[in-house]
Structure 1
Amino acid sequence: MIKNYFKIAWRNLLKNKGYSIINVGGLALGMAVTLIIGLWIYDELTYNNYYGNKDKIAQVFQSQTFNGQTGTGPAIPLPLEPALRDGYADYFKHIMMSSWTQDSYIKYKESNISRPGNYMQPIAPEFLNLEILKGEKEGLREINSIMLSESTANALFGDEDPIGKVVKISNQYDLMVTSVYKDIPFNNAFHDTDYIIPWDNYVARWEWIRESLDNWGNNSFQLFVQIADNTTFENVTNAIIDVKKNADEEVEEFNPRIFLLPMEDWHLRSNFENGKQVGGRIKYVWLFAIIGFFVLILACINFMNLSTARSEKRAKEVGIRKSIGSQKGQLVYQFLSESFLVVLFAFVVAVLIVLLSLNGFNELARKEISFPWQNANFWLISLGFVLFTALLAGSYPALYLSSFRPVEVLKGTFQTGKYSGLPRKILVVLQFTVSVAFIIGTFIVMQQINHAKNRPVGYEKEGLIQIPTFAEEFSGKTDLMRNEFIKSGAVIEMATSSSPTTRIWSNRSGFTWEGKPEGFQEDLAWTEVSSEYAKTLNLKIVEGRDFSREFASDSLGVLINETAKRYLGMENPVGKFLKDSDEEDPNPPLKIIGVVEDMIAQSPYEPVKQGVYVYDREDNFSYYNLRLNPNKSASQNIAIIERVFKQHFPDIPFQYEFVDEEYGEKFAAEERIGSLSGIFTALAILISCLGLFGLTSFVAEQRTKEIGVRKVLGATVFNVWNMLSKDFLKLVIISCFIAVPIAYYVMNGWLQEYPYRVILKWWIFALAMLGAMGITLLTVSFQAIRAAKQNPVKSLRTE
């Protein structure tokens, strides 16, 4: 019986090739979108699955309150680690200090490469579940040891055995390779940790870290923990929440609260607002899940519409089957088997589409997703997916067609009824409601991105590059390199800075100034710069003057931005002082010599932070900032700069970054979402148009003789086109009026997350509505005009 069902289904597919192609094509596109979104969601939800003890690992976060606003982040003070070890040991299985991930130069013989990595405590290999390929698991026991990832070891040593070899780090000190571990997969935290150096080495190398051992106010470190098996994150957080406040009364004014952020939340729920967890990338998981579901629904609607629209063609078949004894259930099975066959073909085509598009999707989404051929769970889920789609797409046509009464059908008195087309119209309205909402949503996302992109950045980012200077050799050579670069003709100005142009690496507090309000808790973005910084970046001085080499007193000078001027409450800040409030060990007061225009160094979607630019007296810089010669091409300038760089630093790899490209990375996440949404919207529209195309062709076929009579009686092509188009256009207009308030509500809520955001204008919605109507007319017009141009003699010859 089942074999017979599929045989008949196959014959029906072959008999109606045009509709079969539309059905299979529409379903395949819908299923392909759903599949690829499903793979993306799976990759997001399985982030950090590499770590077997994921459900017990957390990072220590803290919240601090400044003037009523609570900020939250993973930066913690160094004394917190011994405080947790000594006072709360029963709550933890492991505690691990870590530096921030940072690039270092690693040299062996003639090989000299730059790789990101961390300083970590000896428990790191077990904590990170590292797979040791060579050497020993406890590779961090010796202070002068280093563990390398497989890819880094291959880049340095090639086929040579790296164990026991000595490498030089940033041309400063030697370390012995004790272990090589397998690269941590891409969709995991620490995937960019290409080397690990003992934490004790970090402490021994840097005086500022040793000075931080008992300083609860220096939040410059990371701390990871694995909690004990017999407790929970909530219990541990409740126990340690006030440990910092209890340990140091000086920080009590900031109300520091220590808590654990579980590993499962690092990737998807790491955003905080005023001290409360407010989600994160999980919103994109929900967004794409909804998009995938609705795109699949659109494809299923096509199948339903075309199947029920062709009901009259199969009415006699149903009548004959019923008259010879077929039960309604058998007919339902028959039509569901046809649905299953179409969906099965569509799934095969969908898999091919996914395979062909996966590389492009990975590049766009910045993922490394592979097709799970060997994953049994995937195929079980796919089978369920096919069955679900077959039932979803075939249930209504099966129930509708199997309900025909055989007597009426065989007498020729069967009529589909006045309202038989109503369900199809409702489904078309649903299709285009979703499509129009997608159009509006995508348009607003792109508007928001462009709104932020067009925001004045406060400096000239084009023609500006930055070179990292993370080696001892750079110290004391600032003036020399500035002169050499300018003399080469490739650079017109150079300055150093302690932070990259597009980020803020340090924040300071503990200052007093004239007019400071009682109890005011300041938080200032802190950047140490050389005297030509403003000139190099083309920062505009709005009050006072820039740093100058002619004034020795500028070594204690400071520039502030416009936001800092308002933040500090200074109407005329030039000439005023920022004084260190540390009475025991005060630093010299800093004189404000000028105010610069606000410069975006953090998110372009957020307000500019109050910042100070301090004259760098101690070569405390991390970057060279170079303004390229505009009279030469960028490639010419870079080639000259590299030659000069290598003359003075032959053992250091030449690296540089274009600041405008680094700034563009700030829009990367939103642009990826916008691009993916745009692609999915285009596919949703295409699927809807496929269904509309099929329905129009069926209506035109159904009314062939009517069109012939109208043409004989004098109807023009426009008259026929208008007759076939107006009904569909009405449905799309109804869809627009349903979609607009829904899209407005959803997108207005999304925009509230951005302090700096676009204002929703009426024309955005009008343009989307006009676009949807235009697409509808184009889709319908092809079939309508084709039907209108047919020779009426051919359609009427049988009358």
Structure 2
Amino acid sequence: MFSNYIKIAWRNLLKNKGYSIINIGGLALGMAVTLIIGLWIEDELTYNDYFENRDTIAQVYQSQTFNNQTGTGPAIPLPLEPALRDGYGDNFKYLVMSSWTQDSYLQFGETNISRPGNYMQREAPLLLNLNILKGDRDGLRELNSIMLSESTSDALFGQVDPIGKTIRLSNEIDLMVTAVYEDIPTNNSFDDTEYIIPWDKYVSSRDWIKNSLDNWGNNSFQMFVQLAENTTFEGVTDAIIDVKKNSDADVEEYNPRIFLLPMEDWHLRSNFDNGIQTGGRIKYVWLFGFIGAFVLLLACINFMNLSTARSEKRAKEVGIRKSIGSQRGQLIYQFLSESFLVVLFAYVIAVAIVLLCLNGFNDLARKEILFPWTNVTFWLISAGFVIFTALLAGSYPALYLSSFRPVDVLKGTFKAGRYAGLPRKILVVVQFTVSVAFIIGTVIVMQQINYAKNRPVGYDKEGLVQVPTMSQDFSGKYDLMRDQFLASGAVIEMSASSSPTTRIWSNRSGFTWEGKPEGFQEDLAWTEVTPEYAKSLNLKIVEGRDFSRDFASDSLGVLINETAKKYLGMENPVGKFLKDTDEEDPAPPMKIIGVVEDMIAQSPYEPVKQGVYVFDRFDNSSYYNLRLNPDKSATENIATIERVFKSQFPDLPFQYDFVDEQYGQKFASEERIGTLSGIFTALAILISCLGLFGLTSFVAEQRTKEIGVRKVLGASVFNVWNMLSKDFLKLVIISCFIAVPIAYYIMNGWLQEYPYRIILKWWIFALAMLGAMGVTVLTVSFQAIKAARQNPVKSLRTE
């Protein structure tokens, strides 16, 4: 019986090729979008699945309150480690201190490469359960050891066995390779950890870390833990939340709170607002999940509409089948079989579309998603997906067509009824409501991105290059390098700074000044710079003056930005002092010599943070900032800079970044979301238009004789076009008025996450409405004009 259903379904598909192509094509597009979004969501939800212990791993987070505003992040102080080990050790299986991931030079023989990695405590390979390919899992027990990822080992040693070999780190210290571990896949935390060096080496080689061993106020480190058996994240957090109380009176005023953030939340739920966890990338998972579901729904609506619109053509078939004994259930199975066949064909085409588009999608989404050919679960889900879609798309047509009364149909008295087309109209309204809402959402996302992009950054990022100085080889050579770079003609100005131009690496408190309010808790962005910093960035001095090498006193000088001037409550800040409140070892007072224009160093969607630029007295620079010669090409300038660099540092690899590219990366996530949303919106509109095209074609075919009569009686092409178009245009206008308030509510809520945001303008919604109506007119006009231009003699010819 089932095979008979399939045969009849196949014949119907061949008999109505045009409608079959529209049905299968629309469904294939909808299913392809749903499949590719499903693969993306699966990749997001399985982030960190590489780590077998992920369900018990967490990172230690801290919340602190400054002037009634709570900030939260993973930065913690060094004394927290012994406090947790000694007071709460039973709660943890492993507790691992770690540096922030940082680039270092790794040299073996003539090979010198730069790779990111971490200093971590001995238990790190056990906590992460690294897959050790060579060497010892306990490879961090020796002070001068290093563990390498497989790709880093291959880059340094090639086919040579690396175990026991000595490499040089940043041209400073020698380390022996004790283990090689499998590269951590890209959809995991620590995927950029290409090497691991013992934590004790980090502490012993840096005086500022030794000085932080008892300093609860220096939050410059991070910590990862694995829970002991029979413990929970909530229970351990409740136990350790006040561990910093009574540790340091100066720290206690900020009401520090320690808690654990589980590994499953690192990627998707790591955003906090005033101390409350507010989500994160999970909002994009929900967003694309809804988009995938709605796009599939649009494709299913096409199938329903075209199937029910052709009901009168199949009415006699239903009447005859019922009159010879077919039960309604058999007819339902018949129509569902047709639906299943269409969906199956569409799914095969959808898989082909996904395979063709997957590489491009990966490039756009910054993913490495592979099609899961060997994943049994995927194919089981796919089978369920096909069945579900077939039921969703075919249920209404099956129930509707099988309900016809055979007596009425065979007598010729069957009429579709005044309201028979109402469900189709409702479905068309649903389609275009979704499409218009997608258009509005995409336009607003791109508007917000462009708004932030066009925001004044406060400095000239064009032609500005950063060169990292990740080795002690650079120590004491700033003046020499500046002279040589300027003499080369490739650079017109140069400075050095303790952080990159596009980031804030350090925040400090513990200062007092004239007029400071009682109980005010300051939090200042801190950057150490050489005197030429403002000139190299083309920062504008709005009050006072810039640093000058002609004034020895400038070594204790400081520049502040405009936001800091307001933050400190100084009407005339030039000449006033910032004083250290440390009574045991106070630093000399710093004199404010000038105010610079605000520059964006953090998120371009947030207000500029209050910042101070301090004279770099101790050579703490991490970057050279080079202003390229605008009279020469960038390629020529970079080649010259590399030649000068290599003349002084022949054993170090030359690295550089264009600041405008680094700044552009701040928009990368939103731009990817906007671009993907735009593509899915275009596909949603295309699917809706396919359905509209099919319906218009059917209506024109159904009213062929009426059109012929009207033309004979003098109707113009415009009259016929207007007759066929106006009903569809009315439906789209209704859709617009439904979509606008829905889109406004959703997008206005989305914009509230950005302190620096656009104001929703009426023209955005008007543009989306006009666009939807324009697309509708174009889609309907093709069939309407074609029908209107047809020879009425052919239209009126008897069948």
Does TM, scored on the shorter chain, surpass 0.5?
yes
**How big is the shift at 1:288?**
0.6
Give the aligned partner of residue 96 of structure 1.
Answer: 96
Q: How does 1:582-731 map to 2 (within 5 A)?
A: 582-731=582-731
Q: Secondary structure at the match of 2:221?
A: strand
**How big is the shift at 1:654?**
0.5
Give the aligned partner of residue 237 of structure 2.
Answer: 237
Give the aligned partner of residue 52 of structure 1.
Answer: 52
What letter corresponds to residue 309 of structure 2 in structure 1?
A
Q: How does 1:114-153 map to 2 (within 5 A)?
A: 114-153=114-153
Q: How does 1:274-313 map to 2 (within 5 A)?
A: 274-313=274-313
Q: Secondary structure at the match of 2:466?
A: strand
What letter corresponds to residue 620 of structure 1 in structure 2?
N
Give the aligned partner of residue 171 of structure 1.
Answer: 171
Q: How does 1:370-381 map to 2 (within 5 A)?
A: 370-381=370-381
2:760 equivalent to 1:765:
no
**How big is the shift at 1:129?**
1.3
Give the aligned partner of residue 39 of structure 1.
Answer: 39
Give the aligned partner of residue 779 of structure 1.
Answer: 779
Give the aligned partner of residue 67 of structure 1.
Answer: 67
**How big is the shift at 1:107?**
0.5
Give the aligned partner of residue 390 of structure 1.
Answer: 390
Q: How does 1:147-226 map to 2 (within 5 A)?
A: 147-226=147-226
Q: Deviation per CA, 1:331-382: give whole Å up to 9, x if none.
A: 0000000000000000000111111111111111111111111111111111
**How big is the shift at 1:644?**
0.7
Give me the whole-angstrom Cα distance separating, in 1, the residues matched to 2:170 and 2:273.
38
Give me the whole-angstrom Cα distance separating, in 2, the residues matched to 1:50 and 1:395.
41
2:256 equivalent to 1:259:
no
Give the aligned partner of residue 496 of structure 1.
Answer: 496
**How big is the shift at 1:124?**
1.0
Give me the whole-angstrom Cα distance separating, in 1, the residues matched to 2:508 and 2:23.
63
Structure 1 residue runs of 4+, over 3 Å off?
Answer: none
Q: Give the alignment's TM-score, normalised by structure 2.
A: 1.00
Give the aligned partner of residue 29 of structure 2.
Answer: 29
Give me the whole-angstrom Cα distance separating, in 2, the residues matched to 1:138 and 1:583.
44
What letter corresponds to residue 99 of structure 2 in structure 1?
S
**Structure 1: runs of 5+ lacking an equivalent:** none
Give me the whole-angstrom Cα distance separating, in 1, the residues matched to 2:215 and 2:652.
34
Give me the whole-angstrom Cα distance separating, in 2, the residues matched to 1:44 and 1:361.
15
**How big is the shift at 1:705?**
1.1
2:554 equivalent to 1:557:
no
**How big is the shift at 1:136?**
1.1
Give me the whole-angstrom Cα distance separating, in 2, the residues matched to 1:101 and 1:360.
29
2:558 equivalent to 1:538:
no
Give the aligned partner of residue 485 of structure 1.
Answer: 485
Give me the whole-angstrom Cα distance separating, in 2, the residues matched to 1:156 and 1:16.
64
Instruction: Tell me whether 789-798 or 164-173 shows the greater mean CA deviation.
Output: 789-798
Give the aligned partner of residue 409 of structure 2.
Answer: 409
What letter corresponds to residue 478 of structure 1 in structure 2?
Y
Give yes or no for contact 2:557–2:592 (8 Å, CA) kept in 1. Answer: yes
**Structure 2: runs of 5+ lacking an equivalent:** none
Give me the whole-angstrom Cα distance separating, in 1, the residues matched to 2:717 and 2:635.
60
Q: Secondary structure at the match of 2:32?
A: helix
Give yes or no for contact 2:53–2:128 (8 Å, CA) kept in 1. Answer: no
2:746 equivalent to 1:746:
yes
What letter corresponds to residue 407 of structure 2 in structure 1?
V
Give the aligned partner of residue 429 of structure 1.
Answer: 429
Give the aligned partner of residue 579 of structure 1.
Answer: 579
Give the aligned partner of residue 458 of structure 1.
Answer: 458
What letter corresponds to residue 560 of structure 1 in structure 2?
I
**How big is the shift at 1:248?**
2.4
Q: Secondary structure at the match of 1:70?
A: strand
Give me the whole-angstrom Cα distance separating, in 2, the residues matched to 1:339 and 1:235.
52
Give me the whole-angstrom Cα distance separating, in 2, the residues matched to 1:274 and 1:795.
71
Q: Secondary structure at the match of 1:351?
A: helix
Q: How does 1:288-367 map to 2 (within 5 A)?
A: 288-367=288-367
**How big is the shift at 1:203?**
0.7
**How big is the shift at 1:246?**
3.0
| Count of matched residue pairs | 799
**How big is the shift at 1:621?**
0.3
Give me the whole-angstrom Cα distance separating, in 1, the residues matched to 2:489 and 2:15.
75
Give me the whole-angstrom Cα distance separating, in 1, the residues matched to 2:325 and 2:595.
92
**How big is the shift at 1:245?**
1.6
Give the aligned partner of residue 368 of structure 1.
Answer: 368
What letter corresponds to residue 109 of structure 1 in structure 2?
G
**How big is the shift at 1:715?**
1.2
**How big is the shift at 1:250?**
2.6
Give me the whole-angstrom Cα distance separating, in 2, the residues matched to 1:238 and 1:796.
84
Q: Secondary structure at the match of 1:470?
A: coil
Q: Secondary structure at the match of 1:243?
A: coil
Give yes or no for contact 2:59–2:261 (8 Å, CA) kept in 1. Answer: yes
What letter corresponds to residue 710 of structure 2 in structure 1?
R
Give me the whole-angstrom Cα distance separating, in 2, the residues matched to 1:634 and 1:626.
12
Give me the whole-angstrom Cα distance separating, in 1, the residues matched to 2:133 and 2:793.
81
Q: Secondary structure at the match of 1:244?
A: coil
Q: Secondary structure at the match of 2:489?
A: coil
Give me the whole-angstrom Cα distance separating, in 2, the residues matched to 1:700 and 1:347.
30
Give me the whole-angstrom Cα distance separating, in 1, the residues matched to 2:744 and 2:250.
48
Q: Deviation per CA, 1:51-100: give whole Å up to 9, x if none.
A: 11111110000000001100000000001001100011111111000000
Give me the whole-angstrom Cα distance separating, in 2, the residues matched to 1:735 and 1:784.
21
2:20 equivalent to 1:20:
yes
Give me the whole-angstrom Cα distance separating, in 2, the residues matched to 1:161 and 1:12.
67
Give me the whole-angstrom Cα distance separating, in 2, the residues matched to 1:430 and 1:16.
26
Q: Deviation per CA, 1:606-663: give whole Å up to 9, x if none.
A: 0000000000011100000000000111111111111111111111100000000000
What letter corresponds to residue 610 of structure 1 in structure 2?
Q
What letter corresponds to residue 757 of structure 2 in structure 1?
R
What letter corresponds to residue 534 of structure 2 in structure 1?
A
Give me the whole-angstrom Cα distance separating, in 2, the residues matched to 1:588 and 1:681.
60
**How big is the shift at 1:247?**
2.4
Give me the whole-angstrom Cα distance separating, in 1, the residues matched to 2:410 and 2:422.
25
Percent identity, aligned pairs only?
83
Q: Secondary structure at the match of 2:246?
A: helix
Give yes or no for contact 2:108–2:166 (8 Å, CA) kept in 1. Answer: yes
**How big is the shift at 1:797?**
2.2
Give the RMSD, CA atoms, in angstroms. 0.6
**How big is the shift at 1:794?**
1.1
Q: Secondary structure at the match of 1:245?
A: coil
Give me the whole-angstrom Cα distance separating, in 1, the residues matched to 2:464 and 2:43.
37
**How big is the shift at 1:518?**
0.6
**How big is the shift at 1:431?**
0.1
What letter corresponds to residue 398 of structure 1 in structure 2?
A
**How big is the shift at 1:24?**
0.4
What letter corresponds to residue 516 of structure 1 in structure 2?
K
Instruction: Tell me whether 778-787 or 432-441 shows the greater mean CA deviation.
Output: 778-787
Q: Deviation per CA, 1:572-625: give whole Å up to 9, x if none.
A: 000000000011101000000000000000000000000000000111000000
**How big is the shift at 1:736?**
0.1
What letter corresponds to residue 71 of structure 2 in structure 1?
G
What letter corresponds to residue 520 of structure 2 in structure 1?
F
Q: Secondary structure at the match of 1:254?
A: coil
Q: Secondary structure at the match of 1:608?
A: coil
Give me the whole-angstrom Cα distance separating, in 1, the residues matched to 2:791 and 2:461.
65
